[in-house]
A and B are shown apart, each in its own frame.
Chain A
């Protein structure tokens, strides 16, 4: 329900982070990622950020060299998801300090932790950056 998957893909089409909230086999995932990324990469700046694909919608936004794609159900509020993407980026920014694609790649598990604090089972859990980052900061202090 709600969010089906979250993907971060760079401009060459390589997946940097993938979190699925519904089960798909590996081949299905690769096929899906390929199709969607091709569609989004082909669009230009002027076009709107929502793409319809099969029976759900993709909301995407480009930040520097990385595309953030969120697949949602048809009855979800798209503008809210856009806000959520922005929130996600800001949270990562606060943690990593000027986050870039390499940060996400090399600290993949931290990116996942953050995402997990924010979204669970396809629904948004927490939207306050402080609350999201506190367990992660605690963990870093401990290790």
Chain B
């Protein structure tokens, strides 16, 4: 005996491994065995090779690496005895896969074995080839396999058939060779060969359409006859399962018939009889019978229309759904999902059962039922469905709540017949499962609320009631806080009562209480607290009586450790104390948020038509503290060194933080608050030499929450300029005042109101594009220049997705309005115009300079042009 062999038989090793109590012990045993095996391999030991390989297989199954045994497999395969070959092939199939190069060495052995006289060895080789052959091996050995398809022994034929499936999958060119032999296989009597023959034909049909045609013409009747024979055949002990002869063959035949009948009326006609027979005569009290019925129904649904058959199929479906066995119900639901495409009305009849299934305790069934419900809902039945789903939401488990919530929200959004119903349902969902609701959903809710102006009173009262009931769900708190802030006066004065409401009395201090609760609650996160602060600020203008109290609450947050809150509270405090005159203007009711823009943004397209408004830019739609932002920015930008005033441009920050190609969300609505910040961010970036695009089509992005978060991140995590925010208790009042006033100017300046005229320049010209600037200034304001940029396309191709970006040095401030369109017609047929506003703080000392970047798509290429503009008129 070889001194290096471990001496153990396989079962001893297994016993040793099983006796290990800990994983470390097991590893030790395995390592010892592996070492022994490796030593034996090195010694080239003949005697125990197959035993070693068996051990290796066991070890492999446990999950340890066993690649050193691969050559052993080869040697075993090459040996003459059957047991060795057997183990060798088994090891080959388990330990290797088709990507290993070692496989190439096996090809020769395989070839010899395929031509061996012993049919069992041929079978082995076919098995191995069928399981792991690679494309080259397949190509080499295909002729042998073809020949074997007609071998005398049925066992070989069936294995050859399955092997061929793999070959044609790997090498689709060889399909023609296999078509005719496959057709002849279908006429066999031996079940094994039949089953594999059918599978081979199925494989062929899937790979090549000409094979499909061929089979469709020649073999359909044959197949039908075979199925009929099997269905009618007497009891056969070999293949019988639960009283049905060879259900596997039944099912495979039905699958192939499905492929052949799909889309072809003649073939479908052939099959209708046998399908009807199978569907009606198969017993369904055993699993095997049900399996056949399942396949039958799938086939009926896929082939060309035949009314009677469909009715039969739907009946079977109904029976499945009411079966007590979970498996059958699951399968029934599956079938319904496929049937709904074809026979929607019939499926609606089973609505009640499906709803039952949603409440089932089994997770798989629940998921399927929920998907089905989603497909079933249409305008007429959305209300009862939603009611059921929301009732279920209250009792469902945590992990499922997320799914259901998402589905309910999308259902409600798609199909809601009227706004008040939508708001009601969303309120219920938020109260139940607000924590699972995604941000976009409650943002959309706010948009809808603001659009439904007659329902404002109703909404705010309902929210108030819900808020009083529980403050656990964050989203509910946020929406409630926002609404109370906006429509607080309606709440207190019971404005706009609807008939169905009960009157409630809410005083001003109650409303303020509610919001205070939101701020002080330990579970509120940053967004909620920030929103609450804004809401309080709004209320301070609407409820002048509570103004002192509100000021106190805001003041309390001045020392907050959270930057966002501290900033807001200080800014609001500032305005409350010093700038009373602008406060009311700041806090007017927000304009209606633009639903179409929101939806368009959600659909992923950049809205190009953006409504520019001439509202005072500070009065921003989503109540984000951008009004405060402007003053702060201007207050700060006196110290013009490297501090980028932390002005909002949500998009830019998000762009930086998330590296997504977003356009700046300055507002939920389409107002054009040009991101004044864009450039301010640029100011610092320029020194590093990269261009951060100041994008120009403001479309709502991640809306209010991002809007609110924008200041903090921009201020302290912009990555490039992480300078602490110098809070301006400031001294900058007078200059600040001036800049505040500046910011009040409507950006869309009419060019007629100009001061001195300046010559227009061709700012940038290349072979494909020209950009000209027209300048104008306001009479009293020499530092600010309004530029009208015009782009003309000099090439014969249309430019799409046109985007203009600009960067200016630190002493300048740049605003970009949205462009007139993003498509530039060819050859100067039209042009795009865009307004820019430049504020030169070093007016008189330095002239303007600008770096630009233009991006567009033409002929499916993305083109980027960059340049510097130096030819500004001197005294701009």
CA distance A51 to B283 in the complex (A): 26
**Chain B residue nearest in CB terms to A142:** B82
CA distance A142 to B247 in the complex (A): 34
CA distance A47 to B330 in the complex (A): 10
User: Are the C-beta atoms of B97 and A47 separated by less than 8 Å?
Assistant: no
User: Using an 8 Å CB-CB cutoff, how does the interface string of A99-110 with B read, 1 for contact, 0 for none?
Assistant: 000000110110
Q: Contacts A23-B98, A26-B65, A83-B288 known; A121 to B130 CB distance under 8 Å?
A: yes
User: Are the C-beta atoms of B238 and A130 separated by less than 8 Å?
Assistant: yes
Q: Indicate whether A11 reaches chain B with its CB closer than 8 angstroms.
A: no
Range of interface residues on chain A?
35 or more
Of the candidates B18, B158, B195, B295, which one forms a contact with A77 in the assembled complex, judged by CB atoms under 8 Å apart?
B295
CA distance A127 to B247 in the complex (A): 9
User: Using an 8 Å CB-CB cutoff, how does the interface string of B115-128 with A read, 1 for contact, 0 for none?
Assistant: 00000100100010
**Chain B residue nearest in CB terms to A78:** B331
Query: For residue B522, which residues in chain A have a CB less than 8 angstroms away from its CB?
Result: none
User: Are the C-beta atoms of B192 and A125 separated by less than 8 Å?
Assistant: yes
CA distance A23 to B158 in the complex (A): 24
User: Are the C-beta atoms of B247 and A125 separated by less than 8 Å?
Assistant: no
Smallest CB separation, A21 vs chain B (Å): 7
Central interface residue in B54, B61, B331, B363, by most chain A CB within 10 Å: B61
CA distance A80 to B250 in the complex (A): 10
Q: Indicate whether B494 reaches chain A with its CB closer than 8 angstroms.
A: no
Q: Which A67-120 residues have C-beta < 8 A from chain B? A: 77-80, 82-84, 86-87, 105-106, 108-109, 112-113, 116, 120
Q: Contacts A51-B364, A121-B131 known; A128 to B327 CB distance under 8 Å?
A: no
Q: Indicate whether A41 reaches chain B with its CB closer than 8 angstroms.
A: no
Q: Which A1-38 residues have C-beta < 8 A from chain B? A: 1, 15, 17-19, 21, 23, 26, 29-30
Q: Indicate whether A64 reaches chain B with its CB closer than 8 angstroms.
A: no
Q: Indicate whether B590 reaches chain A with its CB closer than 8 angstroms.
A: no
Q: Number of A-B pairs whose CB atoms are under 8 Å?
A: 155
Query: For residue A18, which residues in chain B have a CB less than 8 angstroms away from its CB?
Result: 61
Smallest CB separation, A23 vs chain B (Å): 4
CA distance A105 to B367 in the complex (A): 37
Q: Contacts A77-B294, A127-B195, A127-B246 known; A46 to B159 CB distance under 8 Å?
A: no
Of the candidates B120, B238, B287, which one forms a contact with A82 in the assembled complex, judged by CB atoms under 8 Å apart?
B287
User: Are the C-beta atoms of A83 and B291 separated by less than 8 Å?
Assistant: yes
Of the candidates A19, A78, A125, which one forms a contact with B196 in the assembled complex, judged by CB atoms under 8 Å apart?
A125
User: Are the C-beta atoms of B363 and A125 separated by less than 8 Å?
Assistant: no
Q: Contacts A23-B97, A77-B251, A109-B57 known; A143 to B83 CB distance under 8 Å?
A: yes
Of the candidates B10, B131, B331, which one forms a contact with A79 in the assembled complex, judged by CB atoms under 8 Å apart?
B331
User: Using an 8 Å CB-CB cutoff, how does the interface string of B740-781 with A read, 1 for contact, 0 for none?
Assistant: 000000000000000000000000000000000000000000
Q: Which B157-176 residues have C-beta < 8 A from chain A? A: 158-159, 162-163, 165-166, 169
User: Are the C-beta atoms of B192 and A131 separated by less than 8 Å?
Assistant: yes
CA distance A91 to B168 in the complex (A): 31
Smallest CB separation, A98 vs chain B (Å): 19
Smallest CB separation, B20 vs chain A (Å): 12
Smallest CB separation, A97 vs chain B (Å): 18
Q: Contacts A1-B203, A47-B361, A139-B82 known; A106 to B14 CB distance under 8 Å?
A: yes
CA distance A142 to B83 in the complex (A): 9
Central interface residue in A23, A124, A130, by most chain B CB within 10 Å: A124
CA distance A51 to B365 in the complex (A): 10
Of the candidates B130, B251, B331, which one forms a contact with A120 in the assembled complex, judged by CB atoms under 8 Å apart?
B130
CA distance A49 to B365 in the complex (A): 11
User: Are the C-beta atoms of A48 and B330 separated by less than 8 Å?
Assistant: yes
CA distance A113 to B166 in the complex (A): 20
Of the candidates A15, A128, A138, which one forms a contact with B120 in the assembled complex, judged by CB atoms under 8 Å apart?
A138
Smallest CB separation, B238 vs chain A (Å): 4
User: Using an 8 Å CB-CB cutoff, how does the interface string of A127-142 with B read, 1 for contact, 0 for none?
Assistant: 1111100010011001
Smallest CB separation, B196 vs chain A (Å): 6
Query: For residue A56, which residues in chain B have a CB less than 8 angstroms away from its CB?
Result: none
Query: For residue A23, which residues in chain B have a CB less than 8 angstroms away from its CB?
Result: 97-99
**Chain A residue nearest in CB terms to B240:** A128
CA distance A8 to B205 in the complex (A): 33
Q: Indicate whether B681 reaches chain A with its CB closer than 8 angstroms.
A: no
User: Using an 8 Å CB-CB cutoff, how does the interface string of A52-76 with B read, 1 for contact, 0 for none?
Assistant: 1000000000000000000000000
User: Are the C-beta atoms of B155 and A131 separated by less than 8 Å?
Assistant: yes
Of the candidates A49, A50, A116, A124, which one forms a contact with B127 in the assembled complex, judged by CB atoms under 8 Å apart?
A116
Query: For residue B365, which residues in chain A have a CB less than 8 angstroms away from its CB?
Result: 48
CA distance A33 to B171 in the complex (A): 31
Smallest CB separation, B295 vs chain A (Å): 5
User: Are the C-beta atoms of B58 and A108 separated by less than 8 Å?
Assistant: yes
Q: Indicate whether B326 reaches chain A with its CB closer than 8 angstroms.
A: yes
User: Using an 8 Å CB-CB cutoff, how does the interface string of B75-100 with A read, 1 for contact, 0 for none?
Assistant: 00000001100110010011001110
Of the candidates A17, A48, A143, which one forms a contact with B326 in the assembled complex, judged by CB atoms under 8 Å apart?
A48
Of the candidates B166, B298, B327, which one forms a contact with A50 in the assembled complex, judged by CB atoms under 8 Å apart?
B327
CA distance A123 to B239 in the complex (A): 17
Q: Indicate whether B48 reaches chain A with its CB closer than 8 angstroms.
A: no
User: Are the C-beta atoms of B98 and A108 separated by less than 8 Å?
Assistant: no
**Chain A residue nearest in CB terms to B249:** A127
> B residues near A, CB below 8 A?
10-11, 14, 18, 54, 57-58, 61-63, 65, 82-83, 86-87, 90, 93-94, 97-99, 120, 123, 127, 130-131, 155, 158-159, 162-163, 165-166, 169, 191-192, 195-196, 199, 203, 238-239, 241, 246-249, 251, 255, 287-288, 290-291, 294-295, 298, 325-331, 361-365, 367
> A residues near B, CB below 8 A?
1, 15, 17-19, 21, 23, 26, 29-30, 46-52, 77-80, 82-84, 86-87, 105-106, 108-109, 112-113, 116, 120-121, 123-131, 135, 138-139, 142-143
Q: List 28 A-B contacts (CB under 8 A).
A: A15-B61, A15-B62, A21-B131, A23-B97, A30-B63, A48-B364, A48-B365, A49-B326, A77-B291, A79-B331, A80-B247, A80-B251, A80-B291, A83-B241, A83-B248, A83-B287, A106-B11, A108-B57, A112-B57, A116-B127, A120-B131, A125-B158, A126-B195, A127-B191, A127-B195, A128-B239, A135-B123, A139-B83
For the A-B complex with A18-B61, A46-B326 known, give 8 more contacts whose Cβ atoms are closer than 8 Å.
A1-B165, A29-B63, A77-B255, A83-B291, A116-B90, A116-B93, A127-B248, A135-B123
